[in-house]
A = this chain, B = another copy of it.
Amino acid sequence: MTQIYQASCTAPVNIATLKYWGKRDTKLNLPTNSSISVTLSQDDLRTLTTASCSSSFEQDTLYLNGEPHPIDTPRTLACLADLRSLRAALESKDDKLPKLSTFKLRIVSENNFPTAAGLASSAAGFAALISAIAKLYELPQNSSELSMIARKGSGSACRSLFGGYVAWEMGELEDGSDSKAVEVAPVNHWPEMQALICVVCDVKKDVSSTSGMQLTVATSDLFQERIKNVVPKRFIEMKKSIVDKDFAKFAELTIKDSNSFHSCCLDSYPPIFYMNDTSKKIIKLVNLLNEAAGKIIAAYTFDAGPNAVIYYLKENENQVLGLFNKVFGHLEGWEKAESLKSKFEILEKFPIDQIESNMEFYSQGVSRVILTQVGGGPKSVDTSLLDLETGLPKKC
């Protein structure tokens, strides 16, 4: 039987605290502004991808969560072409290397979380794809260099090439060769960062983020102010708040940037709405919590959908989770916090009567919670998703 070469990697989800919204080049996925994100722990959210190739494979194929998936999208093809070209360069310098760049690829990928939840699965997906193929091809490129390939697949995927706190520098060059992810700080610089994700029920969104962001670029007057003045200042301030481990500042900037991004969506023509009334209830809970604490202990952020991600520090876990467990404790996702529950509390100054007397109103609209935290970047793993005997995905 012909030899099958293979390699497997996992990659994380990242949730932006300074939002990417708008491309200045839609083909290369070059953004109109720099962005910042926190990489989330792969224990809770990750894509595992096995990349394989063989002279016996007849075409490039992709399996996602057990099902065949189109691989011939322009963006995926752009990533594969870049990776093959880097491999070919190695092969041209060393005759002994097998000519993997000429073989067809078989990619098998699966998430450890429901894809339909509207979490940033494409970021983890492209980061795992690029990492696994780079490992298969034994490419020497570093994470920033690989992030530029991931960026062509899905802009925000470039940030999933790093763990911890990550910046995507927008760059200036036309060919995008300076538009890449860099580490602001590793996980262990500020490991106390926790994230509570509230998965919000919603009808399917009307506007994809790909077309939504270009509608904003083309039609929003306020967006120009955002990219010219608001974000550049915030980018510097937010990096500093991370380096300084200044949660109150980090949280304020995170909240403001989520609001600013959704403002520009609403200022588009026709307007785009990603948050719904449930999202607004969660914002209200966070506001009341911070007021009761007398300082900012929780920061909400919303991507192009109604799900809330709430960042908080481990030291405020009992107060933050105490409140959200009170409201959403009946939902799936709290298993992980079982041992913490005895310490959960409601802040003395929190107007809990106001919530309790409208509990039906506040507790509806969320389908599950996910408790997680800041985590590391892509990892090389031995687990293979490929059945070497059949050359097909292993059955789950």
Which chain A residues have a beta carbon within 8 Å of chain B's beta carbons? 206, 221-222, 224-226, 229-230, 252, 255-256, 259-260, 262-264, 266-271, 273, 276-277, 280, 283-284, 287
Beyond A221-B225, A222-B230, A263-B266: 5 further Cβ-contacts under 8 Å? Answer: A221-B230, A221-B260, A222-B267, A259-B269, A270-B287
User: Known contacts A221-B225, A230-B221, A277-B277; is A259 also within 8 Å of B255 by CB?
Assistant: no
Most buried by B among A226, A252, A267, A277: A267
**Out of B252, B277, B283, which one reaches A276, CB within 8 Å?**
B277
The answer to whether B277 and A256 touch across the interface, beta carbons within 8 angstroms, is no
Residues of chain B within 8 A of A224, CB atoms compared? 225
Residues of chain B within 8 A of A260, CB atoms compared? 221-222, 267
The answer to whether A222 and B263 touch across the interface, beta carbons within 8 angstroms, is yes
The answer to whether A262 and B266 touch across the interface, beta carbons within 8 angstroms, is yes
Smallest Cβ distance from A253 to chain B, in angstroms? 10
Task: Give the nearest-CB partner of A258 in chain B.
Answer: B271
Residues of chain B within 8 A of A270, CB atoms compared? 255, 283, 287
7 contacts between A and B (CB under 8 A): A206-B284, A222-B226, A222-B264, A224-B225, A260-B267, A263-B266, A271-B283
Most buried by B among A206, A225, A269: A225
Task: Give the nearest-CB partner of A287 in chain B.
Answer: B270
Smallest Cβ distance from A353 to chain B, in angstroms? 16
Q: What separation, in Å, do the CA atoms of A229 and B256 have in the docked complex? A: 22
Residues of chain B within 8 A of A262, CB atoms compared? 266
The answer to whether B269 and A263 touch across the interface, beta carbons within 8 angstroms, is no
Task: Give the nearest-CB partner of A260 in chain B.
Answer: B267
Residues of chain B within 8 A of A230, CB atoms compared? 221-222
Q: What separation, in Å, do the CA atoms of A287 and B268 have in the docked complex? A: 13
Residues of chain B within 8 A of A229, CB atoms compared? 221
Q: What separation, in Å, do the CA atoms of A268 and B273 have in the docked complex? A: 17
Task: Give the nearest-CB partner of A276 in chain B.
Answer: B277
Q: What separation, in Å, do the CA atoms of A262 and B264 have in the docked complex? A: 10
**Out of B222, B255, B276, B280, which one reaches A222, CB within 8 Å?**
B222
Task: Give the nearest-CB partner of A221 in chain B.
Answer: B230
User: Known contacts A221-B225, A260-B221; is A280 also within 8 Å of B269 by CB?
Assistant: no
Residues of chain B within 8 A of A225, CB atoms compared? 221-222, 224-225
Task: Give the nearest-CB partner of A270 in chain B.
Answer: B287
Smallest Cβ distance from A378 to chain B, in angstroms? 35
User: Which 4 residue pairs of A and B lie closest in terms of their CB atoms, listed nearest first?
Assistant: A225-B225, A263-B263, A263-B267, A222-B222
Task: Give the nearest-CB partner of A230 in chain B.
Answer: B221
Residues of chain B within 8 A of A271, CB atoms compared? 259, 283
Task: Give the nearest-CB partner of A267 in chain B.
Answer: B263
Q: What separation, in Å, do the CA atoms of A229 and B277 have in the docked complex? A: 31
Most buried by B among A252, A263, A273: A263
Q: What separation, in Å, do the CA atoms of A230 and B206 have in the docked complex? A: 27
Task: Give the nearest-CB partner of A259 in chain B.
Answer: B271
**Out of B226, B267, B269, B280, which one reaches A273, CB within 8 Å?**
B280
Q: What separation, in Å, do the CA atoms of A255 and B283 have in the docked complex? A: 26
Q: What separation, in Å, do the CA atoms of A105 and B359 have in the docked complex? A: 48
Q: What separation, in Å, do the CA atoms of A280 and B202 have in the docked complex? A: 14
